[in-house]
Chains A and B, each alone.
Chain A
Amino acid sequence: MSAGALAVTTDDGRRTLAPPGRRRVTVLARQQFGAYAVLRCADPGGPPPRPGQFAMLATAERWGGGDGERPFLPRAFSVLRARPGELEFLLEDVGPGTARLAELEPGDGLWVLGPLGIGFSVAASELAGRRALLVGGGVGIAPLAILQDELVASDAAVTALLGFRDGLHAAGAALLRDARIATDDGSAGHAGLVTDLLTAELDRDQAAIVYACGPPPMLEAVRALCAGRAVPAQLALESGMACGFGACFGCVVPTRSGYVRLCLDGPVLDADRLETALTPGAGH
């Protein structure tokens, strides 16, 4: 297997440049983790993504155009994990696009444009002796897996706190190492919100940096919690995207300095850039 294309990074090492065209890759495996599917594909031509970057995906067959139904545009997915020449994505079936992607079988074709956007900052200066708290909600755990891989490889202290609806979804926690779990219905781990776990961690020791991805209400709770305690936080947000490379201006989220295109200046934003993480039209 090829070791992937030569990577050029920009934006302080938080962005690997993508090749300018979408590329057709082959699905190697689909594995179910409770309510989620993991899609592993061969990506010999793709450069290695930075944690928090995403790709625009569309199936090579039967994606729009066919009988004229949605999906039409590609869909945004965080990179779950990357090995040389391979990419993994985590899918939750919430609509026609994710449903179609979740049907893919080994050997099927997938269009990939990426890696896109600006990922998490894991610079030593950023960590500065603080431990990393990874806070994930639902399918938002995806970018935290590749982030954990990188932090562990650099010997940083990492704790993963993950929240899910129920036991079926909590099966996704197996994608990260040593994750502590909260479920809304109490069927696994702490009965309650993942922010309860975060509060307890910060009560114990505030020398932390928080990396979070999840539904908007969770991100907003994390933002408010960290702001109140002056704990630095980086939030991977979501918004409806048509292109993923800054062409359409459709994905904007409000920040303290006005709208920014989430696909270009995010999806990871420093929490202190935001008045709120509750972005209109995002999430489900």
Chain B
Amino acid sequence: MTSAAASGSATAALPTRFCGIELAHPIVNGSGTFDAIAAQRAFGPALVEQFPFAAFVSKTVTLAPREGNPPPRLWELPAGLINSIGLPNKGLAGYLTHDLPELAALPVPLIVNVMGFTRDEVAELVSAFAERDEVAALELNVSCPNVETGLIMGADPAETALLVERVRPLTDKPLIVKLTPNATDPGAVAVAAEAAGADALSLINTIRGMALDPRTHEPWLGGTTGGVSGATVRAVALAQVYDVAGRVSIPLVAMGGVQRGRDADDLLRAGATLVAVGTESFRDPLAGARVADELTRIRRPDARPGARARG
């Protein structure tokens, strides 16, 4: 893997090992917040040459294609965003045919995020990717209801355990369970996921929120409610990462409101191994590379270009 050389960051030098995967630095993207294929249409090959992340996490894939929620899908907050995107995607077959070959050509390892509405659906998705060499790891998005029980899979420790136990034997690839912050006790879900065989956990997903149309006073978002992300959730993310890190021993991918190297450093100090940049990429596509550079300056002052000149 050529990840170290190809990372878009000019100065980031924080080699990181995550579930056996070697990364140039600990900054990845949050699922659904960067479309590496669309970005190449907008920016051309320069995007790949300056690829901002040390690994690429693709948007949630479901078994069947999804159109997503009706617009409007976005509501801006002071220092944040509510989205009700609704997980639009081409479905498993469409992803394997159209997206996987292009994403496999990226200069960094690929992590595929999947979600199902039943345990069988998740199992089918995991099995399909288990045999693909292009895929370095799998992330399970458990922020959705199990249509058979009506429970949000990731909101309940027992539901989460049943799901992870079901899919764990289906793949040797690292399994990352993406926790939802909309649970009574995310730490308890984390403990259950670890006990059921998860290799890593990622957190936080977006926090449920809503906005009313200032003119009609009806819900603004086409999906009625949505998920809050961005700087405004940073303190919540830090608290949940700190709590979960104290209760499990598997590595964590931390995210939520990361805008600067300092925010990433906080999450690493709270116990994370990787940090994902989400909403901040909307403000600057190369935010991930900037965060990695800033983090390098914080963690390795010796690696600062100016330091050598002085010495």
Contact = CB atoms under 8 A, between A and B. Distances in A.
Nearest to B70: A280
B285 A74 contact: no
B28 to A, nearest CB: 14
Given A21-B50, A259-B88, A252 B71 contact: yes
A65 B85 CA distance: 24
B83 interface: yes
B266 interface: no
Interface in A96-129: 111, 113, 116
B149 to A, nearest CB: 28
Interface residues of A, number: 44
Given A17-B44, A19-B46, A68 B79 contact: yes
A20 B281 CA distance: 11
B67 interface: yes
Given A245-B38, A246-B39, A252 B68 contact: yes
A27 to B, nearest CB: 19
Given A247-B34, A248-B33, A250-B85, A72 B286 contact: no
A1 B70 CA distance: 46
A250 B74 CA distance: 6
A279 B222 CA distance: 12
B76 A70 contact: yes
Contacts of B34: 247
Contact of A280 (B39, B71, B77, B282): B71
Interface in A180-203: none
Interface in A3-58: 8, 10, 15, 17-22, 58
Contact of B38 (A111, A240, A246): A246
B39 to A, nearest CB: 6
Given A65-B79, A69-B78, A264-B42, A243 B72 contact: no
A242 B68 contact: no
Interface residues of B, number: 42
A259 B67 CA distance: 7
Contacts of B77: 70, 72
A65 B259 CA distance: 10
Contacts of B44: 8, 10, 17
Given A69-B78, A70-B76, A21 B33 contact: no
Contacts, number: 137
A242 B74 contact: yes
A245 B79 contact: no
Contacts of B35: 246-247, 249
A58 B259 CA distance: 16
B284 A22 contact: yes
A72 B80 contact: yes
Contacts of B88: 249, 252, 259
Contacts of B32: 249
A20 B49 CA distance: 10
B81 interface: yes
Contacts of B279: 242
Interface string B36-80: 001101111011001000000001000000011011111011111
Given A248-B33, A250-B83, A17 B67 contact: no
A258 interface: yes
Contacts of A258: 67
A253 interface: yes
A249 B43 contact: no
A18 B72 contact: no
B20 to A, nearest CB: 29
Contacts of B242: none
A200 B41 CA distance: 40
A78 interface: no
B27 to A, nearest CB: 15
B284 A21 contact: yes
B244 interface: no
B220 interface: yes
A249 B24 CA distance: 28
A261 B85 CA distance: 12
A196 to B, nearest CB: 28
A243 B244 CA distance: 31
Contacts of A239: 71-72
Given A264-B38, A280-B222, A20 B47 contact: yes
Contacts of A249: 32, 35, 59, 68, 73, 85, 88
B283 interface: yes
B230 interface: yes
B116 to A, nearest CB: 20
B200 interface: no
Nearest to B43: A20
A73 interface: yes
A261 B41 CA distance: 12
A71 B42 contact: no
19 contacts: A18-B43, A19-B46, A20-B50, A21-B50, A22-B284, A22-B285, A65-B79, A72-B77, A72-B230, A239-B71, A240-B72, A242-B83, A242-B279, A247-B38, A249-B59, A252-B71, A261-B38, A264-B38, A280-B222
Q: Give the 6 A-B CB pairs with smallest separation, nearest first.
A: A246-B38, A281-B72, A21-B286, A243-B282, A20-B43, A250-B74
